Amino acid sequence: MTALEIGTFHDLWVIDSGATDHMSNKLTNFSDFTFFSTPACVSVANGKGAPVKGKGKMKLVSYTVNSDVLYVPSFPFQLLFVKKLTTSFNCEVIFSPYKVIF
């Protein structure tokens, strides 16, 4: 699957070791959410900026992510930042060719 094909998979979660924050394109995923009065921007792989509309907490499986998750409605997928996730859950991550284990 190429980055161009990913655009249609809005429920796709990408695990990223080089990100700066967790990000989601679905407002329904959030709890304790705050809209920004002035949207900020995050840089994306194509060099353009994507507007960040707010931030909040998000439940992941049966755990609440303790660090803020940014709401970026224009993102074609949802992004988990490895360092923040492993710090939040005090866990390790193992990547294999077919799965990721936390």
Query: For the chain, what are the domain ranges?
Result: 3-101
Token digits of residue 49? 């900026």
Residue 20 sits at φ, ψ, to 5 deg, of: -110, -15
Mean pLDDT of the region 37-41: 88
pLDDT of residue 36: 93
| High-pLDDT (> 90) share of the chain, % | 19
Average pLDDT, the chain: 82
**pLDDT-derived band at 37, boundaries 50, 70, 90:** very high
Largest separation between any pair of C-alpha atoms in the chain: 42
Q: What angle do CA 38, 52, 91 make, to 5 degrees?
A: 135
Instruction: List, for residues 66-82, the tens digit of each pLDDT value.
Output: 778 999 988 888 888 88
CATH 2.30.42.10 fits 3-101, yes or no: no
pLDDT at 45 over 80: no
| Residue 79 φ/ψ, nearest 5 degrees | -125, 130
